[in-house]
């Protein structure tokens, strides 16, 4: 029951992670939204992710993991209702802030629940890998059904996502979970001893750059492809069966690789491949070639987030500071989205065709990421 409840939660988050990039082209046409406004909408979602992720930890300690799961899923449902009735820039941006808040809290809650899962055929790190696969599956489903099942009908897509969130909420409500500890584990004095650590600084910067790239693809790729003349349905299919599928398969494929290659080398190779694939991806207007390159970009990006967070935990677990360090690094990751979305939107301005130039931020950030990984001490 606990495993299924957690999987439903993570699957829901995967769906909403891909939601903005999926619905943005249609919302932009309907309400004449410029790329600059799109960037601000993405920034509001990112601020919500940071807000929800930061405050979820103390909430789980004081009220329990079930409260965290139920509250985050309820916020997601409310945000989807708000998006379904939104009529312009301000209500869309407000709904995306609420969606981000629910999403940030859901990620923290779901991974906390994963610590309590005990089944005979799934142990230790395998639990997190299994749960993380359903994030990728959720990200694949949203643009795919939008293009193939609902024919870019945004209200129907939002209704489907609301139904999934409601099912997840009901299942979590019926699932027994561990009681709250009643004591906030986060201690402010721990932060000062962590923020001076070069390892945490570099890994946090790596996550900042990575999230800017990954979410940059989620939020902007479909609109960029449409501006290059790719039909809407095909652009969303490329996002789903290209990028999301690449992430999903890449995270499966990297598990045996990590048995023989150091995490640092995996991160370095991924960063270099990210720079190459994202740059070439932006140079083509062919839908078929775009699919191949976007798929390869997804494969390249796949190991970065879990591997970097795994290194954070490894580095600070001996001091008992792994949870606090992970929280700091994750927050820095969401900050990458806060910064990247308005930059991309600002460069594109009012012309969607300028997204090709604006999205050069992705290969540039990938090259900087490679430099950061090179500077990282062996953990």
Indicate if 116 and 140 belong to the same structural domain. yes
Indicate if 251 and 379 belong to the same structural domain. yes
Note down pLDDT in tens along the chain; length 379 residues. 888 888 899 899 999 988 988 898 889 989 999 888 998 998 999 899 888 887 877 787 778 888 889 999 999 999 999 999 998 999 999 999 999 999 988 988 887 787 677 665 555 445 565 677 788 888 888 888 988 888 778 999 999 999 999 999 999 999 888 777 666 665 666 667 778 889 999 999 999 999 999 988 988 898 899 988 898 889 888 988 899 899 888 877 876 776 678 888 989 999 999 999 999 999 988 889 999 999 999 999 988 888 887 788 778 777 766 666 777 788 888 888 888 888 998 898 888 888 899 999 999 999 999 999 999 987 6
Indicate if 240 and 300 belong to the same structural domain. yes
51 within domain boundaries: yes
- Confirm whether pTM is higher than 0.85: no
Please give the distance of CA 327 from its chain centroid, rounded to a whole number.
Answer: 15
2 within domain boundaries: yes
CA distance 363 to 376: 20
Q: Name the phi and psi angles at 226, rounded to 5.
A: -65, -40
What contacts 332, CB < 8 A, 6 or more positions away? 204, 205, 207, 208
172 within domain boundaries: yes
Indicate if 241 and 379 belong to the same structural domain. yes
Final residue of a domain: which of 158, 180, 202? 180
315 within domain boundaries: yes
* Other CB atoms within 10 Å distance of the CB of residue 312: 26
DSSP state of 91: H
CA distance 282 to 117: 42
Indicate if 138 and 29 belong to the same structural domain. yes
Final residue of a domain: which of 159, 180, 201? 180
248 within domain boundaries: yes
Task: Record the tokens describing residue 296, joined without a space.
Answer: 């390869």
Task: Record the tokens describing residue 88, joined without a space.
Answer: 């312009």
150 within domain boundaries: yes
CA distance 288 to 40: 31
Cβ contact 220:23 at 8 Å:
no
Q: What is the pLDDT of residues 115-146, one digit of tens each?
A: 677 665 555 445 565 677 788 888 888 888 98
Indicate if 152 and 236 belong to the same structural domain. no
292 within domain boundaries: yes
Q: What is the pLDDT of residues 194-237, one digit of tens each?
A: 788 899 999 999 999 999 999 889 888 988 999 888 988 898 88
> What is the reported pLDDT for 248?
85
Indicate if 145 and 205 belong to the same structural domain. no
Task: Tell me which residue of 279, 162, 284, 275 sits closest to 235, measured CA to CA.
Answer: 284
The CATH number of residue 27's host domain is 1.20.1250.20
Task: Tell me which residue of 322, 62, 318 sits closest to 190, measured CA to CA.
Answer: 322
Indicate if 170 and 194 belong to the same structural domain. no
- CA distances (Å), origin 160, targets 156, 280, 295, 348, 349: 6, 34, 26, 32, 32
Final residue of a domain: which of 162, 180, 198? 180
Indicate if 110 and 257 belong to the same structural domain. no
Indicate if 278 and 212 belong to the same structural domain. yes
Query: How many domains does the chain contain in total?
Result: 2
> What is the reported pLDDT for 184?
61
286 within domain boundaries: yes
CA distance 277 to 271: 10
Indicate if 205 and 347 belong to the same structural domain. yes
Indicate if 247 and 363 belong to the same structural domain. yes
Structural domain of 235: 190-379
> What is the reported pLDDT for 258?
66
Cβ contact 308:270 at 8 Å:
no
> What is the reported pLDDT for 314?
77
CA distance 296 to 302: 10
């Amino acid at each position: 029951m606990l495993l299924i409840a957690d999987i439903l939660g993570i699957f829901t988050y995967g769906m909403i992670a891909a939601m903005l990039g999926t619905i943005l082209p249609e919302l932009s046409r309907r309400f004449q939204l410029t790329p600059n406004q799109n960037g601000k909408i993405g920034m509001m979602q990112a601020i919500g992710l940071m807000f929800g992720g930061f405050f979820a930890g103390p909430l789980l300690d004081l009220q329990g993991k079930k409260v965290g799961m139920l509250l985050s899923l309820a916020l997601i449902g409310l945000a989807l209702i708000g998006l379904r009735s939104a009529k312009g820039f301000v209500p869309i941006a407000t709904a995306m802030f609420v969606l981000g808040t629910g999403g940030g809290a859901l990620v923290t809650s779901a991974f906390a629940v994963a610590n309590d899962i005990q089944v005979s055929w799934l142990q230790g790190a395998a639990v997190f890998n299994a749960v993380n696969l359903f994030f990728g599956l959720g990200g694949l489903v949203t643009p795919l059904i939008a293009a193939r099942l609902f024919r870019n009908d945004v209200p129907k897509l939002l209704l489907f996502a609301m139904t999934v969130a409601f099912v997840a909420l009901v299942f979590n409500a019926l699932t027994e979970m561990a009681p709250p500890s009643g004591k906030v584990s986060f201690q402010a004095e721990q932060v000062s001893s962590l923020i001076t650590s070069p390892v945490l600084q570099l890994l946090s910067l790596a996550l900042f750059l990575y999230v800017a790239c990954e979410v940059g693809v989620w939020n902007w790729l479909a609109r960029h492809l449409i501006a290059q003349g790719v039909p809407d349905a095909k652009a969303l299919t490329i996002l789903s069966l290209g990028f999301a599928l690449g992430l999903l398969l890449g995270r499966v494929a990297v598990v045996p690789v990590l048995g023989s290659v150091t995490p640092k080398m995996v991160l370095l190779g991924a960063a270099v491949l990210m720079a190459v694939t994202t740059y070439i991806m932006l140079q083509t207007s062919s839908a078929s070639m775009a699919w191949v390159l976007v798929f390869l970009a997804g494969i390249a990006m796949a190991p970065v987030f879990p591997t970097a967070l795994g290194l954070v935990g490894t580095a600070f677990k001996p001091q008992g500071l792994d949870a606090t360090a992970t929280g700091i690094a994750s927050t820095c990751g969401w900050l990458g989205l806060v910064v990247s979305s308005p930059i991309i939107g600002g460069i594109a301005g009012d012309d969607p065709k300028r997204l090709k130039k604006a999205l050069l931020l992705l290969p540039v950030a990938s090259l900087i990421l490679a430099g950061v990984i090179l500077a990282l001490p062996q953990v």
